[in-house]
Amino acid sequence: MRLMALLLFLTGVSFAVEVAVGFGKLTPDEDIVKLLEKCNAKIRSMWYASPYGGGGSGAEREWYKPRDFFQKIRERLVGGYRIGYFEDVAGFKIILENNLLKVEDLNRYPKLLKLVRGLVNNYYQQRESYIYIKSGGPIVYAVLVKTDDVNCLEESKLVKDVSVNYFSLFTAFLKYVPYYFRPKRYSQYYFFPEVKNAKPEELYRMIEKAVSEHKSNKEFLKHFKKFYIKAGFYKKRLEFFKKSIEGAKKRSLEGKTPPPQTYFPNEGDIFYTGTDTVVYNVIKWNNPGDWSVEEPGYEHDLVAKNDYFTSCYSQSSLPEWYDDCPTTCVDESSGGDCAFSFGTYNALLIEPGFPYEGWVRLTRGSASYTDFRLNAQEVFHSPICFKFLGRWICIPCPFDTPWCMGGTPFRDGNPDLNCPVNSLALKKCQFRRFYPYNSSWQDKYDCTHASWCD
């Protein structure tokens, strides 16, 4: 790459190229901004992780000045994490107000204890990440930029890895690189020690404390009134938690008889603000399995019209998480369907009975409504294929990157579940501007598509 840069310099030719830059660690915004300004670079995408668990990425359609871009990502992520943890508090409030949970239940039913422990951990993940990101703590570990001064980036002590797209032949390979830069210790979800080791009585007090601390929080009270009182989500979430808690109790009493294995989550919730944020408060498998490949992954896909949602920021707490904001709709101008997704590279790490979560924060497009579907998909490291000298060449994908994750080509797992495909719709309905939406799925064992707008 340095040779090419030298040749360009000697010939007097200069043009901007796309560069994937990895820092090898979570790096302060200001350090990255100063470097990119120095190197005459504009930025479109970033990859981040929270020290408190989970992470994701953010991508815009246009190239931005570095300072403007980082101001935007902070606003987006802070808003997403705030809604995420407000949703957790809202769930706790509904559980307590309706006496759905008792300490003795946590002592008696181990699967219920695991569910509640996960819900409490999710709350702390979202809240602590919100506080940390709002305070300006370093979160970014890789960026995608465009510059005409690659040497400037390569010579910086701040940069650990650089991948440059000088030739069109390598366009397909550049996009794999940023995900490889992720520090390995951020790939697992973070378990707060005080939650992991808490006794049932302590967990219950954590729930009570979370609700109590927000009794006078004006932002939370506004959120709760808008969505749970005026929009009527209270009853829906109440029914969801009733079924979830009773289901956990029932499975605890079933002893050694495991429920059917499924590649899709058996329980979950989808919450849409009516503007720019979709939250999944719970994504839970009773018994993950029924895989059709040896090294499966899982992907949670929100499919909507490209002119309703555009740019994307996301978060996921799945183990070995990934998301695809930089790969989704970025190069599309209008029309067509786009999938805003996150998932896990290694579905074998999914714990039965543990509730995971995630959210996507999107830029609103021009359309006033869109049909949508929420898909659950089994994925795997599919081959990379590209055309060279008139022939297609396919090689195994060596990277953990969303560009490598494709839907499994067949399913030959548990015949009792009658799942001939690798994807099914958990929810189908319509998003409309300024109309909030909330729904859930539970006990979906038959692998059939959800009814329209249930």
Question: Has residue 9 been placed in a domain?
Answer: no
Question: Does residue 287 share a domain with residue 179?
Answer: no
Under the banding of pLDDT at 50, 70 and 90, the label for residue 331 is very low
Total domains in the chain come to 2
Whether residue 32 is found in the same domain as residue 107: no
Residue 348: per-residue pLDDT: 95
43 beta partners:
64, 145
Domain that holds residue 108: 72-135+188-442
One domain for residues 363 and 272: yes
Residue 334 lies in a domain: yes
For range 149-174, the mean pLDDT: 75
| 130 plus 167 within the same structural domain | no
The pLDDT of residue 333 = 43
| pLDDT band, residue 13 (cuts 50/70/90) | very low
Contact assessment for residue 324 and residue 45, using Cβ atoms and an 8 Å cutoff: no
How many CB atoms neighbour CB 71 within 10 A? 14
If asked whether residues 42 and 167 sit together in one domain, one would say: yes
pLDDT at 146: 94
pLDDT higher than 80, residue 353:
yes
Q: Is residue 5 part of a domain?
A: no
Domain stop point among 124, 154, 186 = 186
Q: Are 154 and 271 contained in the same domain?
A: no
Q: How far apart are CA 140 and CA 69, in angstroms?
A: 12
27 and 171 assigned to the same domain = yes
Decide which of 186, 217, 248 is a domain's last residue. 186
**Percentage of the chain lying above the pLDDT 90 cut:** 58
> What per-residue confidence (pLDDT) applies to 109?
96
Q: Are residues 199 and 63 in the same domain?
A: no
Asked if residue 61 and residue 77 are part of one domain, the reply reads no
Residue showing tokens 């967990």: 203
Do 180 and 299 lie in one domain? The reply is no
Residue where a domain stops, chosen among 126, 161, 186? 186
Q: For residue 450, tell me if it sits in a domain.
A: no
What does DSSP assign to residue 375?
A: E
Residue 454 belongs to some domain of the structure: no
Residue 185 phi, psi (nearest 5): -70, -10
Residue 199 lies in a domain: yes
Residue 93, domain member (yes or no): yes
**Could you tell me the CA-to-CA distances from 402 to 4, 294, 449 in Å, in that order?**
29, 18, 25
Residue 312, in any domain of the structure: yes
DSSP run (H or E) holding 214: none
Q: 162 and 141 share a domain?
A: yes
Residues 6+ apart with CB under 8 A from 248: 109, 111, 112, 114, 115, 353
pLDDT in tens, 221-243: 999 999 999 999 999 999 999 99
- Residue bearing the bigger pLDDT, 263 or 391: 263
- Helical segments of 109-199, H only: 110-134, 150-154, 171-174, 177-180, 193-196
- Among candidates 194, 139, 142, 106, which has minimal Cα distance to 22? 142
- Please indicate, yes or no, whether residues 102 and 163 belong to a single structural domain of this protein: no
